[in-house]
Amino acid sequence: MRPRKIKLVVKLAGFKMPIAQAKIVKYADMLEAKTELLCPKCLAKPRWSGKYECECGATYTHWSQLKRVLPNGKEIVKPKLTKGEDVEAEVYVMDKEEFSKYSDATYMEYGVVVEDSNSAMNLKKLIIALDRLNKVIILHFLDTYEERVLKDSTNTLSYASCMD
């Protein structure tokens, strides 16, 4: 979902009253390294046509068979950590506050970022009031191709989508 600017409104006595203006944005993005895939034999950049074909006549069916290099020509070597066997994952439990020291958001997490200080104050008051009343915030709006629903039960406004 691309960043979407929305106005948060409530109905009071049949009239719509704006309380905040915000953007729905993705919190975290993946960093992409600026690298190139080269033929390991002749170090030329192969072209893709159903498979990687190089000028020296070599063909490769998968990108992992090519050599990945940085712009300065240095090769990136990634050692294999497993050999195809089953992998065990250890499970840990950590308090939310402690975890927040190490990570802010997950890759697929979206949230609401307010546009101005008045909107921030109104939204803060709303969240505090709803937290004390043990209620949740639900935002419902139409996006370009989908109906969007944002719900907040943990004061972070998590993201959900409903296809038409």
Which token pair is 111?
Answer: 């949230």
Between CA 117 and CA 132 the distance in angstroms is 23
Please tell me the number of Cα atoms within 13 Å of 104 on its side-chain side.
6
Three-class DSSP category at 23: strand
Query: Residue written as tokens 């993946």?
Result: 30
Is the model's pLDDT at 94 over the cut of 80? Answer: no
**Residues of the domain holding 134:** 4-28+106-163
Model confidence, pTM:
0.41
Give me the pLDDT at residue 138, please. 74
Looking at the structure of the chain, the number of domains it has is: 2
84 domain-assigned: no
Please indicate, yes or no, whether residues 41 and 12 belong to a single structural domain of this protein: no
Q: Are the beta carbons of 80 and 87 closer than 8 angstroms? A: no
Give the tens place of pLDDT for each residue, 50-85: 899 999 889 999 988 999 899 888 888 877 777 777
Between CA 126 and CA 114 the distance in angstroms is 13
